[in-house]
Structure 1
Amino acid sequence: MTTARGRYAKGEQRRAQILATALEVFTEGGFHGSSTREIARRVGVTEPTLFHYFGSKQALLAAVLAARDERTPGPAGDLGRLLETVRDNATEPDLVRLFAVTSAEATDPGHAAHDWFTARYARLRSELAAGIAERAAAPERAGAELTPDRVARLLVAAADGLQIQWLLDRGPAGAAGIDMADDLRALARALLDR
């Protein structure tokens, strides 16, 4: 006889198996080039079973991205964790592409991953700001050399990222909590007026 706890553990194992398989399939073919039928086939379940765990393909993708985020220990907005994640991402270009495309698509409030991305960026900004404030209170440290090429790369990256965050942060009335131009101007001042 299977107990409720046994069914729960089996369900959690199945969920983890679906997430791992979906990550493989999505990174191989991208979100639009992948099918839930292929994910279900590789896991050894039917599509209805897959949708029992995740209500839609978009919801499955959001869960995959959230699980991927959880692989690196520590607070999500910790600077060390952010740097480690970026370094690890360099070894997984397909996953980075999947994340970038999905974050852009999730700017649509109807996208299943919209709320997750919106909350993720808000949490990252808040936690990074707290970490930066702590570092600012610590004794000065020698900074990295800011060559013109590096500053240009940082500004372009910030501009691209700000656009995605701005699209995610817009309310129903179109009011945005992020002023892209002002944020980029502040970064440029901080980098160039040292």
Structure 2
Amino acid sequence: MAQNERSGERSPERKAASAGRGTYAVGDERRSRILDTAVEHFAQWGFHASSLARIAKDVGITQGGLLHHFRSKEDLLVQVLARADENDKEKFFSHEFVSAVECYACLVRLAEYNSTRLGRTRMFNVLAAEAGDPGHPAHAYFTRRYTDIVEHMSDPLRQAVESGELKPGTDIVAVSQETAAVMDGLQVQWVLDPKGFDMVGRFRAYADRLLRSITVDGRGLPADVRGPADV
């Protein structure tokens, strides 16, 4: 046994490893703060009017320090959107849905979750509107996002038609696109009036009506997902 181990002291190698872990932890924490602050800035000013210098100032670092973590404002935007997607996918879409009803129940829970994230939801609304410009750095992201949403919803809906849960001939692509449009449209209204507009209740009622119109047995959302006004 080495002398420094017998005396309880850590070897230089262990000290270096511990210091390295501490440095990584600080870097991860700072990176997370930059992303959180960027969400607030993109939500308030959009992409073009947001400034790396202002974001860095609010984080408490220099612009050079911010650029140590993100190569450019475009890179920061991409990472903000990617993190938001990863969190949502892990929380709500990490498993395959066994039915159309389960799929829509999950979307209601997503709406409930979004209602606790005003800044993030506002950011998505602002950036989605800006991204209609093909030259916007998030244009490809939002184009792909809607394609992914339709594909992700189409699989369980297609299986639901095949299993007899949904009516034969149900246009699953149209249903998926409509659902995405309704959800996003309700979010726009909620961001404009978060205290007066019931985004979750409106989407819950929509999902229940839709399911009752396309399920073979007229079944809507499960009782534990429907609100009191929907029962």
Query: Do both proteins adopt the same fold according to a TM-score greater than 0.5, normalized to the shorter chain?
Result: yes
Query: What's the counterpart of residue 208 of structure 2?
Result: none
Return the offset for 1:47.
0.8
Return the offset for 1:124.
1.7
The 5 A counterparts of 1:1-194 are 2-3=16-17, 7-32=23-48, 34-72=50-88, 73-75=91-93, 79=103, 80-140=105-165, 157=181
Distance, in Å, in 1 between the alignment partners of 2:125 and 2:149 is 16
- Equivalent position SS for 1:140: coil
Return the offset for 1:126.
1.3
Q: Give per-residue Cα distances to partners, 1:1-32, cap 9 Å, x unaligned.
A: 65566544443332212112222333345445
Distance, in Å, in 2 between the alignment partners of 1:112 and 1:5 is 34
Return the offset for 1:46.
0.9
Contact kept in structure 2, 1:40 and 1:46, CA below 8 Å: yes
Letter of the structure 1 residue corresponding to residue 32 of structure 2: A
- Equivalent position SS for 1:48: helix
Letter of the structure 2 residue corresponding to residue 11 of structure 1: G
- Equivalent position SS for 2:87: coil
Q: Give per-residue Cα distances to partners, 1:131-175, cap 9 Å, x unaligned.
A: 21223234537xxxxxxxxxxxx69x46x98xxxxxxxxxxxxxx
Q: Structure 2 length normalisation: TM-score? A: 0.50
Distance, in Å, in 1 between the alignment partners of 2:55 and 2:122 is 19
CA 1:12 to 1:126, structure 2 compared with 1: closer, same or farther past 3 Å?
same
Distance, in Å, in 2 between the alignment partners of 1:31 and 1:9 is 28
CA 1:127 to 1:62, structure 2 compared with 1: closer, same or farther past 3 Å?
same
Letter of the structure 2 residue corresponding to residue 48 of structure 1: G
Distance, in Å, in 2 between the alignment partners of 1:135 and 1:112 is 37
RMSD: 3.9
Distance, in Å, in 2 between the alignment partners of 1:123 and 1:16 is 26
Identity %: 39
